Amino acid sequence: MSEAEKVKIILKTLNKIYPKPPIPLKHRNTFTLLISVLLSAQCTDVNVNNVTKNIYPKYNRPEHFVSLGRKKIERLIKSIGIFRVKAKSVYNLSKTLVEKYKGKVPKSFEELEALPGVGHKTASVVMAQGFGHPSFPVDTHIHRLAQRWGLTSGKNVIQTEKDLKRVFPIKYWNKLHLQIIFYGREYCKARECYGISCKICTTCYPSRKKPIITKKA
């Protein structure tokens, strides 16, 4: 099966199951989206949402978190993994936004990635979900699925992102990122599908018998 045929199958399947995929991280504005994405590193979206539902009604602007200070931020997010490191990033990030950007989240990759605690993946999510700018955030789960589906041979998320942007038209990127995340959680799970049981894997690779070994990002 050609790459183009696989892409067509993937798009058709995902659009049928997830015609309008929601943004999984609950937020009130672009700033709280940025904070939630930062907090989601090595943590589930569900856990982040459970914590932030008690924070965002009261604290939802950079100025609020600067006033809180690191120690109070730590107490607010202590049930989230590596909370001390994240609290430091949230505080420094908020301080930078207040001092340099008048409390506004910048709208470019370069400026976002220069913020404390913000990497390329976080910046990509904010650009896509916060500003509607075409981007293709790739985490370890999307990296794994892209390998199973034969769309990349990349050994890291950077190469996988380049490969996915090459094979899928730009108009699908933002929606497709979310669709793949939901599909991976529901159908092509890390420890269940192994590349041989979900609809996309079996349709694209009907003769595949052995579980595919994916390379960690």
Same domain, 141 and 181: yes
Choosing from 130, 147, 167, the residue where a domain stops is 130
Same domain, 200 and 113: no
Q: Which residues contact 123 (CB under 8 A, 6 or more apart)?
A: 109, 112, 113
- What value does the mean pLDDT of the chain take? 94
Q: What is the pLDDT of residues 16-66, one digit of tens each?
A: 999 999 999 999 999 999 999 999 988 899 999 999 999 999 999 999 999
CATH number of the domain at 179, please.
1.10.1670.10
Active site residues: 121, 139
Same domain, 97 and 189: no
Same domain, 114 and 152: no
CA torsion sign for 104, 107, 113, 117 is: positive
Q: What is the mean pLDDT of residues 144-166?
A: 93
Can you read off the two tokens belonging to residue 162? 């380049």
Same domain, 94 and 143: no
Same domain, 74 and 158: no
- What does the pLDDT read at residue 155? 83
Note down the domain range covering 35. 30-130
Same domain, 42 and 99: yes
Same domain, 11 and 55: no
Can you read off the two tokens belonging to residue 193? 């599908």
- The answer to whether position 90 is within a domain reads yes
- The answer to whether position 213 is within a domain reads no
The tally of domains found in the chain comes to: 2
Q: What angle do CA 112, 115, 117 make, to 5 degrees?
A: 110
- The answer to whether position 214 is within a domain reads no
- The answer to whether position 80 is within a domain reads yes
Same domain, 36 and 117: yes
Q: State yes or no: pLDDT of 103 exceeds 80.
A: yes
Q: State yes or no: pLDDT of 160 exceeds 90.
A: yes
- Alpha-carbon Rg for the chain, nearest whole angstrom, is 18
Same domain, 146 and 168: yes
Q: What is the pLDDT of residues 73-91, one digit of tens each?
A: 999 999 998 999 999 999 9
Q: What is the mean pLDDT of residues 162-187?
A: 96
Instruction: Please say whether the beta carbons of 182 and 16 come within 8 A.
Output: no
